[in-house]
Amino acid sequence: MPPPGLLVGDVVASIRLTVDAGNRNLVIGTSGKSGVALFDASPGLSYSIQLAMEPSPTNAVMPYKVIKPDNTVLLSGSIGGNSYPPSIHLPSLSAAGTYSLLLSPGATTLT
């Protein structure tokens, strides 16, 4: 099921992340499409998401959203540009469940 506001065809890549596990690759190679990384989280904890991006063009800024298990937005912003390595720091979570990191690079492609 795609995140709110997107159709199934808008999401071209998805992965499941595990806390403290190794790196995973998410490739969004089609302009105008999005990718989703799912992760399970526990309440009362704060999480950080560390990315190693290879956007094209290399100076691209990419919007993101972190979506809570109830399909509402927890956090949104943008990463990339001159900030490296890009990180997303989440506030202390109030609910357990599966969260989604939605990356929508627009005209940029991302590996």
**pLDDT bucket at 109, cuts 50 / 70 / 90:** low
pLDDT tens digits for range 48-80: 988 877 666 667 778 899 999 999 999 998 887
Q: Is the confidence at residue 99, as pLDDT, over 90?
A: yes
| pTM reported for the whole predicted model | 0.84
Residue ranges per structural domain of the chain: 8-110
Let me know if domain 8-110 sits in CATH 2.60.120: yes
The answer to whether residues 66 and 75 touch, using CB atoms and an 8 Å cutoff, is: yes
Distance CA 105, CA 80 (A): 10
**pLDDT bucket at 106, cuts 50 / 70 / 90:** confident
Could you identify the residue written with the tokens 């540009």?
81
